[in-house]
Amino acid sequence: MLFKLTKVIAALSAVTVVAASPTKRQENAATCNYVLQPDVVVDASATNLVAEFNYTIGRALAIETGVGGFTYPSTYVDNGDNTFDVVGKNSAEGLTAAETAAIITGWTGTTLTGLTANWLVESVTYHSKIRDCFEILWVELR
């Protein structure tokens, strides 16, 4: 009986550790608002731009930091002039949200490689956790 109880406790401990691992990365995520312009005309109705922005931003952050991270699904607004307002939430393993944001905000004026296009980062603004919910809601309501 003691042997079975030990197995149960060990199994529950393993599940707790696995479940807790992603939480640490998610707590350190930085939410940023980007204005991105592709180097080719992108049809938002024919392109999965959520996947495009997640890939582009997540890839750039991984290359810059050299570590793994976590990317939440992006939201975006097509401005109608071949620019896109994007809200992206990303984290990098071992970095705080402020450290991650410092890297990301340094991308202004650079071009990031995507799947569909290369994206000029016209601007990036970092928002603290207090403003995260409001920024995501604002983009979704527009």
Q: In terms of pTM, does the model score above 0.75?
A: no
Report whether 97 contacts 72 (CB < 8 A).
no
Q: Tens digit of pLDDT for each residue in 54-92?
A: 999 999 999 999 998 899 999 999 999 999 999 999 999
Please indicate whether residue 32 or residue 21 has the higher confidence score (pLDDT).
32
Please indicate whether residue 135 or residue 97 has the higher confidence score (pLDDT).
97
Please indicate whether residue 67 or residue 4 has the higher confidence score (pLDDT).
67
pLDDT given for residue 75 in this prediction: 95
What does the domain layout of the chain look like in residue ranges? 2-141
Q: Tens digit of pLDDT for each residue in 83-127?
A: 999 999 999 999 999 999 999 999 999 999 999 999 999 999 998
Is pLDDT of 35 > 70?
yes
Is pLDDT of 7 > 50?
no
Cβ-based burial of 89 (10 A; exposed 0-12, middle 13-18, buried ≥19):
buried
pLDDT given for residue 28 in this prediction: 79
